[in-house]
Structure 1
């Protein structure tokens, strides 16, 4: 201080070395004057990954999350829990059984239900059998109907040879099929099956629709169906009396005619059948009291009489000489 009690210099804290007179001293940790400009200049010269990062401004959570998200999450959680309980309780399965899948229900409500199924090409099959085999009913809807699955299920039916399925919007399905032609019935091990002309098994005998078809009996008889059908054609007027043909030991046929067995030879069966037709026309052979006719020998016919017929035959033989051509 001077003599008057005054300081010779202003009462201002001195800055660091090199600071201008009268300047304000920086606070501890604060950037020096000109430091910000220098830092910006340096950051522009450094690579991007070495530049100092700017401090991010904190945004409140309620401003970063969209509105009503929390409410939606709560309702979604309870919805998932409710749906899981609905499925686990069996109520969903019961709903599907009664009304179909939810997508089908919505499609039907929109006017795309399966209201009409047109079936073309059926002969032996019934429409109800087609619908059952295809798995079609009022619960289906046209947009969500799997036509490939319907076609595969119908193709698995033995009586169906080929099938096509096509959607016709808004509510019709067209099913076009071709049936295999049944030619005969094949009996083996107590079961009867429907077969084609080449012996392929088409289906089991389920009802009386195929009762009028020719019947073959025995192992491998189905593979010789064409041969048996040729014998029926050779039977002429006797064809209606033939009930079945049994393949014996895989070699020859025995025909069943109204309780009479007709034994045909292994070779020349068609000629033997023609001979039987002639004998019946000339002598009414099959109207006599016989139970079997053996045509296996080409030069004679052997018949087996019933007990009553044998007794009558013996009485007749006592009164006249034996006939020629037929042995008993």
Structure 2
């Protein structure tokens, strides 16, 4: 009897060592109970061969992964959401293809500007300061600012750059004041002279920038310069006008010659040729000759002051003929005597 028990016991111990007994848990048992039951399995119950299972047995094929993803679409709500996204993408593509997006942008602005306005940041007010000759509408059109813009997405630097392209604008500042106000401060160029080149007359500022075409009589009283490069030397011309003193009102135009010097066209048709070096000193000489000899009132075509300490004049044709006739008797007397 004892021998039989020993044989049965050794068989039972050998079986238990190889195959651990897992407690049986009902299918409807709580998760905690099932977990606790599984935890009672001793570590030695796991066979060594099972601990080092081949990786190929756990790797899923491509078909299995595809079936798994398709199964995901079968979950409640996921398939409907995917279908909705698909139809939305198709609708958006058709909207863009048929020109609907372009029409929306043309009427309402870019999508980000629409979002900015909806969020409470439209451009409700634009304050413009410093303009006198430009209108607010001209400035807004040049700046590219309108009701379709939103304040957060408005590029203030780009707006300033566009304003600086307007010839009459000398400087510009653009400020955004949240939530809905835009401030534009500009400084206009002032008309300083008229510049004629190739038969066309433009209004130019002090720095020589053409700011407008001569369209009416508003600017006819401005100083007048002629020739290529004359606009770049406008400050020099204006300085010479100042040095001319009482003669300034008799200067009709300044003609820039060969990119080096000035000729003054006077109101009575006389041309005064100034030197390249020290034209101001030559004007002082002209003023003295006018005081002493009324040289500008003579019948002369031009007065040449280009050579220092020397004045050359050329008479008009009528004055030259009259002088020739006046000197003729003296010449005949000398030849007869």
TM-score range, shorter chain: 0.5 to 0.7
RMSD in angstroms over aligned alpha carbons? Answer: 4.5
Partner of 1:214: 223
Do the aligned partners of 2:173 and 2:184 also contact (CA within 8 Å) in 1? yes
Aligned residue among 148, 162, 176 for 1:153: 162
1:285/1:124 CA distance change after superposition, 3 Å: farther
TM-score where L is the length of structure 1 = 0.65
- Secondary structure of the corresponding residue to residue 37 of structure 1: coil
1:237/1:320 CA distance change after superposition, 3 Å: farther
Aligned runs of 1:132-143 on 2, under 5 Å?
A: 132-143=141-152
Q: CA deviation at 1:188?
A: 4.7
1:302/1:64 CA distance change after superposition, 3 Å: closer
Do the aligned partners of 2:172 and 2:187 also contact (CA within 8 Å) in 1? yes
Do the aligned partners of 2:305 and 2:312 also contact (CA within 8 Å) in 1? yes
My pick for the range that moved more, 290-299 or 186-195, is: 186-195
Do the aligned partners of 1:251 and 1:266 also contact (CA within 8 Å) in 2? yes
Partner of 1:74: 83
Partner of 2:326: 317
Q: CA deviation at 1:41?
A: 2.9
Aligned residue among 17, 20, 26 for 1:36: 20
Alignment of 1:101 with 2:103, yes or no, is no
Aligned length: 286
Alignment of 1:302 with 2:307, yes or no, is no
Do the aligned partners of 1:245 and 1:255 also contact (CA within 8 Å) in 2? yes
Partner of 2:302: 292
Do the aligned partners of 1:247 and 1:254 also contact (CA within 8 Å) in 2? yes
Q: CA deviation at 1:233?
A: 0.7
Alignment of 1:269 with 2:269, yes or no, is no
Q: CA deviation at 1:52?
A: 10
Do the aligned partners of 1:120 and 1:175 also contact (CA within 8 Å) in 2? yes
Aligned runs of 1:213-292 on 2, under 5 Å?
A: 213-258=222-267, 259-280=269-290, 286=296, 291-292=301-302
Instruction: Identify unmatched segments of 5+ residues in structure 1.
Output: 1-17, 21-31, 322-328
Aligned runs of 1:106-117 on 2, under 5 Å?
A: 106-108=115-117, 111-117=120-126
Distance 1:195 1:183 in 2: 6
Q: CA deviation at 1:206?
A: 3.8
Partner of 1:15: none
- Secondary structure of the corresponding residue to residue 80 of structure 2: helix
My pick for the range that moved more, 270-279 or 248-257, is: 270-279
Distance 1:236 1:320 in 2: 42
Alignment of 1:88 with 2:97, yes or no, is yes
Q: CA deviation at 1:143?
A: 2.7
